[in-house]
A and B are shown apart, each in its own frame.
Chain A
């Protein structure tokens, strides 16, 4: 119940394409869902986050879509660029806890 399942494990997209990464959770007590971006040799950095009272949040080329009934959320990267090549992690946190539960990560490669 504490797990967050992330797919795909790896993704290759052409420059200008749309990258889509999916996550699913079981625990309905989760109420904060961030996405982190991690480059090699660096720590994860917060990219965008959503709470379950909205179905979509957009920041620049990055959009989170949230489906509360299906207990799924996804990250869409529009107009993907080679500089977006990194590992992306979804995560979830309960309001009563400070603990982030991370997915297993998606390695994105954007080809020029």
Chain B
């Protein structure tokens, strides 16, 4: 069974530029999560989707971050404009249902110069 797929794996951009991350969850998993992981820290939830509905986006900085999950499968997380402090690893995870085990992708490492 294929795991959670994320792309790109690495991204280097200059500040004020836009950037987007893509996630393909495990087939059949209805719940999708985006996490932010700063260096030396544990992941922090940004947003959770149940199918195509964002049911918890309380931690998403909505002035510059946006996310979508069209058709309840793949998801895209966007930052516009990026700031230096956005440099981190962005992890996507999925679970068969909300309270089930979360399976993480390898993450996208973002560096903002």
Q: Is B28 among interface residues, defined by CB-CB distance under 8 A?
A: no
Q: A98-B99, A99-B48, A100-B102 are in contact. Are A43 and B42 (CB under 8 A)?
A: no
- Do the beta carbons of B42 and A98 come within 8 Å of each other? no
Q: Is the interface of A mostly helix, strand, loop or mixed?
A: loop
Q: Which residue of A lies closest to B91 (CB)?
A: A43
* B80-113 interface code vs A (CB 8 A; 1 in, 0 out): 0000000000010100001101111111000000
Collect the chain A residues with CB atoms within 8 Å of residue B105's CB. 43
Q: Considering the chains assembled together, what is the distance between the CA atoms of A89 and B93 in angstroms?
A: 16
Chain A residues numbered 11-57 whose CB sits less than 8 Å from any CB in chain B: 41-46
Q: How many chain A residues touch the partner (CB < 8 A)?
A: 16
The answer, among A43, A99, A104, for a CB contact under 8 Å with B104, is A43
Alpha-carbon distance between A102 and B41 when the two chains are bound, in angstroms: 8
CA–CA, A45 and B44, complex, Å:
15
When chains A and B are docked, how far (Å) is the Cα of A100 from the Cα of B56? 12
Is the C-beta of B31 less than 8 angstroms from some C-beta in chain A? yes
Chain A residue at minimal CB-CB distance from B3: A43
The reply on A109 being an interface residue by CB < 8 A is no
User: Quick check: A46 and B101 within 8 Å, CB to CB?
Assistant: yes
CA distance A95 to B43 in the complex (A): 19
A44 and B48 alpha carbons, distance in the complex (Å): 17
A-side contacts of B40, CB under 8 Å: 104-105
Q: Whole-angstrom distance between the alpha carbons of A105 and B42 in the complex?
A: 6
